[in-house]
Every structure is written in C-alpha cells, then in structure tokens.
Amino acid sequence: MEAENKEIEIRPTGSYFEVDQDGYIVNPTSKEKIQERWWPVIDAIIGYYQKAYKDKLHSVYVRGSVAKGQAIEGVSDIDTFAYVNLPKSEINHDWVDAAEKELAESYDFVEGAELGASPVSDIKDDSIILNQSVCVFGTEVDVPKLKVGSELAIHSQKFYKRVDWFNEFLKKDETLEEVRKGCTWFMKGLLRVGFELTMDRSQKYTRDLYRCYETFAEYYPEKESEMLEVLHLALNPIADKAKLKEIVDGFGAWILAEAQKIFVKDSKDSSFA
C-alpha cells in the first residue's frame, strides 16, 4: 500500500496573462514580485550555475508561480533555466541532479527545483518561455511580443512524445516515488494540452494548472470530470500503474486525437507522428 500523505486541496489559484490593447501577452513576471522567502533559494541556484559554468554563464531566468509572486509554500516548485556561452555539445549537465536534490533537502518549503542550461544561440527560439520569465542574473535579452493563439501551443504538437515516453516508463521497475513524479509530470502535460485546445476560442493564455482546468471545462463540459481527476492527480500523484495506464489509454488518447484535429491542418503534417 502507498503511504498516506496529506491531500492537497484543489483551489482556484493562478491567473491568466494580461493582454495589451494590440492583443499581445504581457509578461507577468518581475523581480519585484518574487516573494522574499524565495530569494535565498534563487541565490543558491545562481550559485550552482556559477560553479558549473563560471565565466561562460550568460544569464539565469525564473518562470512560473515564483516569478509571478504567487508561489505557495509546500506546493510550488521553482523552475529555472540558464543560457551559457558554450555550444550545446560542451554544456555539462551532470551536476544538475545532485543540485536539485541538495536544494530539496535545504529548503523544505520548495516542492522541487528544476535547473537546466542551453546555449545562448537558443535564445532566438525561446520567445514563448522568455515572455513568461524573469532574468535574475546576467544580461536580460529582448524578445519579440507574442499574440494569444495557436503559436503558443508548445505542448500539443509534441504531446505524442510525452505519451510514448510515459507508456514506456510505466513498464519499468521504478520506485513508488519515481512513479508518483512521473504521474505529476504527465498530468501537468494533460492539463496544459487541454488548455491549448481552447486558446484560439478563449483568447486566454496561462500555464497555471487550475486555470487550465477551468478554461478546458468551459469548452469541453462533457470532459470536465475527467480533467478534474487529472488536476487532482497532478497535485496528489499516485503510484498505481494500472490506474495511470487507464488514463493514458482513455482520456490521454482523446486529448491527443483532439489536438491532432485542431492543430494539424494538413493530413500530411507529421508533427504529431
């Protein structure tokens, strides 16, 4: 049997991005919004990046609830990424797992930490992520503005890869904790793809899980109960592989088919296969 943990209650948290008078999304993050409790964690993360990349470190960014000043202790993770002046083949990632583990042990109010680095040359392709992130170290870059719509659907077109990976993952002999982590990862993907199905119609944009569920339920009321279960499992992950496989093959397959219908305009488009 799985150990009993205190259940996280579903609450109407999060927000939608503001849209300016010309229809462009407004970056909701800033240094000023970051809650004081989270700055020592950010400083520690910057330290890890500096130790790993030294003078090759170009910049460090934070996104998500922490960057918007909406972090909830014990629930929110801290999502960061860095750019370095190195080609991709020379970027060392071997230190990341140990750093993330040390951060989790040092700051018990942080649900998890995500660190990673990319070459500076990737900046030109990262407009979406940079429009929802704040630079906390180094040189901030200018990024083009984006309008709400299918160009922001970054999860849907590669969701088949997440499905394939998760199906293989469920066949492996993983620990209960690893399965629960995989559950959270997959359910978050379902929520965000579900939301992306609505963007052209709703003219809204968010990454926040409850708001993804809320908007999906508005446009797909017949699937509301299934997405509510997904939201519950994103917050309260399980290690029941049979149940997870049932969701992948049922609701997950439906989401994938709906994404194909909405985003693949040409039947010869291979971006979903």
Both 82 and 162 in one domain: the answer is no
15 found inside a domain: no
pLDDT of residue 1 exceeding 50: no
pLDDT of residue 271 exceeding 70: no
Report the range out of 13-22, 28-37, 104-113 with the highest average pLDDT. 28-37
Q: What is the residue-averaged pLDDT of the chain? A: 91
CATH of residue 93's domain is: 3.30.460.10
pLDDT of residue 4 exceeding 60: no
Residue with tokens 């359910």: 187
Q: Report pTM.
A: 0.72
Max CA separation in the chain (angstroms): 54
Give the containing element (helix H, strand E) for 247. Answer: helix 241-247
Both 258 and 161 in one domain: the answer is yes
Q: Is the dihedral of CA 85, 87, 90, 94 positive or negative?
A: positive
16 found inside a domain: no
Domain that holds residue 53: 31-138
Q: What's the whole-number mean pLDDT along residues 8-25?
A: 89
Q: Which of the two residues, 165 and 271, has the higher pLDDT score?
A: 165
Q: How many CA atoms lie within 13 A of 109 on its CB side?
A: 10
11 found inside a domain: no
pLDDT at 5: 65
Both 71 and 164 in one domain: the answer is no
pLDDT of residue 268 exceeding 50: no
Both 185 and 254 in one domain: the answer is yes
Q: Which of the two residues, 220 and 4, has the higher pLDDT score?
A: 220
Q: Are 74 and 7 in contact (CB under 8 A)?
A: no
Dihedral pair phi/psi, residue 204, rounded to 5°:
-120, 160
pLDDT at 112: 87
pLDDT of residue 217 exceeding 60: yes
pLDDT at 149: 82
Structure tokens at 63: 């996104």
Other CB atoms within 10 A of residue 36 CB:
6
Both 252 and 163 in one domain: the answer is yes
pLDDT, tens digit (0-9, with 9 covering 90-100), for 179-201: 999 999 999 999 999 999 999 99
pLDDT, tens digit (0-9, with 9 covering 90-100), for 52-79: 999 999 999 999 899 999 898 888 889 9
In the listed set 108, 138, 168, which residue is the last one of a domain according to the structure?
138
Q: Which of the two residues, 207 and 116, has the higher pLDDT score?
A: 116
Q: Which of the two residues, 272 and 201, has the higher pLDDT score?
A: 201
- Which residue from 225, 229, 197, 191 is spatially nearest to 210, judged by alpha carbons? 191
Give the containing element (helix H, strand E) for 106. Answer: helix 96-106
Q: How many domains does one find in the chain? A: 2
Contacts of 197 (CB under 8 A, 6+ apart): 156, 216, 219, 220, 255, 258, 259, 262
In the listed set 116, 138, 160, which residue is the last one of a domain according to the structure?
138
Both 43 and 68 in one domain: the answer is yes
pLDDT of residue 265 exceeding 80: no
169 found inside a domain: yes
